Each structure stands twice: as structure tokens, then as C-alpha cells.
Structure 1
Amino acid sequence: MWIGSLEFDILLGDVHSLKGKRSVIRPIIAEIRRRFDVSVAEVDHRDLHRRSVIGVGVVSGDAAHVTEILDAVERLTAARPEVELLSARRRLVQTDDL
């Protein structure tokens, strides 16, 4: 079994409150979840209104499939005009390695 994770550190554009941040982050999370059927959540910087870290998790029997899904999620997130992708940290682990 292969486990893949991806963390996006993102900067939000013209956002001045946590309520405004939620109105940007929630649709991104919902679209990732709907399009790719993966686990996704805001995992850090929840108290800052212009920064966020979104975490994505994928499990598959094939490493190539995990990589393909994580690549697609990263492209989708980077293409969003309302956010700037500052960094993406990826990890791919096989259960034999644990």
C-alpha cells in the first residue's frame, strides 16, 4: 500500500478577515475533495487571515496512481487565481517502509 501526502502553504489575495478567508478556502477544499475523492483539510495557520496550509492525503495500491493524483491536485491549486502557492511539500511512503 502507498500513502501520499501533500501540504500546500498558500497566501490569500485580498482577504481582510477570517470570514473572508473561509469564503476562499472552503471552495478550494470542496473542489479538491469532489474532483479527486481524497482527504483534504486546512491543517495550519487557521488563525491568520491571509495564510493557510491545506493538507491532502491519498492511499492506493500503486505509487504511480498516488503521484498522478497529487500532481493533479497541485496543478488545480496552483491555477486558482485567488491564492498564491508559496510551497508544496510532498511525501510518498510505502507501508513496508513504516
Structure 2
Amino acid sequence: MYAGTLRFDLLLGDVRSLKEKRSVVRPIVAELRRKFAVSAAETGEQNLYRRAEIGVAVVSGDLAHLKDVLDQCERWMVGRPEIELLSARQRVHSDDD
């Protein structure tokens, strides 16, 4: 069994409040969950309105499938026009870790 995580560090575009931030981040998290069947949540930078950290987690019995899902999530995030992706960090763990 393999578990993978992906952490996105984001700079949000024209956002001037935490309320506006939520209106950008919430649909991104929902779409990651719906489109890729992963667990996703805002995991950091909650008090900064122009920055966000979104974490993604997935579990699979097939390492190739797990890596493919994480790569698809990252490519999808790169294509989002309302955010600038500052970094994306992937980690994969196996039962042997």
C-alpha cells in the first residue's frame, strides 16, 4: 500500500480579505476532491489573505497510479488562472517506511 501527499504553496491574485480568499480556495479544494477522488484541504497560511497552502492526500495499492494522480493534480493546479503556484512538494510513503 502506498500513500502520497502533495502540498501546494499558492499566491492568490486580486484578493483583499479573508472572505475573498475563502471564495477562491474553497472551489479549488472542492474541485480537487471531485475531479481526482483525493482528500484535500487548506492546510496552512489561514491568516494571510493573499497566500494559501493546500494539501492533497491519496492512498493506492499501485505506485504508478498514485504518482499519476498526484501529477494530474499538480498539472491541473498549474493551469488555474486565479492563482500563482509558488511551489508543489510531493511525498510518497510505502508500508515499508
Is the TM value for this pair above 0.5? yes
Equivalences for residues 44-55 of structure 1 within 5 A: 44-55=44-55
Q: How far apart, CA to CA, are the structure 2 residues paired with 1:63 and 1:4?
A: 9
Aligned to 1:28: 28
Q: 2:96 aligns to what SS in structure 1?
A: helix
Mapping 1:77-92, distance limit 5 Å: 77-92=77-92
Percent identity over the alignment is 60
Superposed CA offset, 1:12-33 (max 9, x none)? 0000000000000001001000
TM-score (normalizing by structure 1)? 0.97
Q: Which runs of 5+ in 2 are unaligned?
A: none
Cα-Cα RMSD: 0.5
Q: What TM-score do the two structures reach when normalised by structure 2?
A: 0.98
CA-to-partner distance for each residue in 1:46-96, whole Å, 9 max, x for gaps?
Answer: 010000000000000011001000000001111000000000011001111
Number of the residue aligned with 2:2? 2
Where do 4+ consecutive residues of structure 1 move more than 2 Å?
none
Structure 1: segments with no counterpart, 5+ residues: none
